[in-house]
Structure 1
Amino acid sequence: MCLEVNNSERQKVSSFSPQDPLTLSQPCDNVFSAPTLQLQVQQLSEEKRSVEVELQRCQESERDARERGHRLERLVEVLRKKVGSGSVRAVV
C-alpha cells in the first residue's frame, strides 16, 4: 500500500534504477519500508518482553504448585504412618 508522497520523495523514488539489486519491485515500498520495519521490530520486542514475563510467571507458578504437591505427598505419608501405627483416634 503506497501513501501520498511529496515532490522530494518522488524524486528519490524516480532516482532508483530498475537494475539496482537493492531496490524492491515497487518504489513506494523503499520510501516507507524503514519506518514500518522499525515499528515492527519495536512491536515484536515489546511482545517478546511480555511473553518472557508471562513465561517467568508461569514457571514460578509451576514451581509453587510442584512444591505444594510435594508437601501434600509428605503429609499423606505421615498420616498413613499414624493410621498404620494406631496413634490416630477415630473421630465420630
Structure 2
Amino acid sequence: MRSLLAYTVARLAVFAATAGILYLVLPLDYGESGALLILLALAVLISGIVSYVLLARRREEFSAAVVDAFLNARHKFEKSRGKED
C-alpha cells in the first residue's frame, strides 16, 4: 500500500510544519504543560483543515487503492468458494 504510506507521510509533514509554525508564532510559556497541550490541539485542528484541502488527490488515490484491494480480495474469496462447491 504505497498510497497509504505516501498519504500518512504527507499528513505527518503537514502536522509537523503546522506545529513548528505555531511554536514560532504563538507567544505561549512552554514551561507550562497546558501551553504545550494548546499548541498540539491547535496544530491538530489546523493541520486537519489544511490536509483536507491540500491532500485531496492523495486521499482519493488511497481510497481507490483500498477499494481495489477489497474488491480483489472479495473476488478471490468468491472464486475459491465456487471451487469448493
User: Does the pair score TM above 0.5?
Assistant: no
Q: TM-score range by the shorter chain?
A: 0.3 to 0.5
Quick one: higher RCO (CA 8 Å, sep 6+), 1 or 2? 2
Structure (1 or 2) with the larger CA radius of gyration: 1
Q: TM-score, normalised by structure 2?
A: 0.41
Q: TM-score, normalised by structure 1?
A: 0.38
Question: Greater share of helix residues, 1 or 2?
Answer: 2
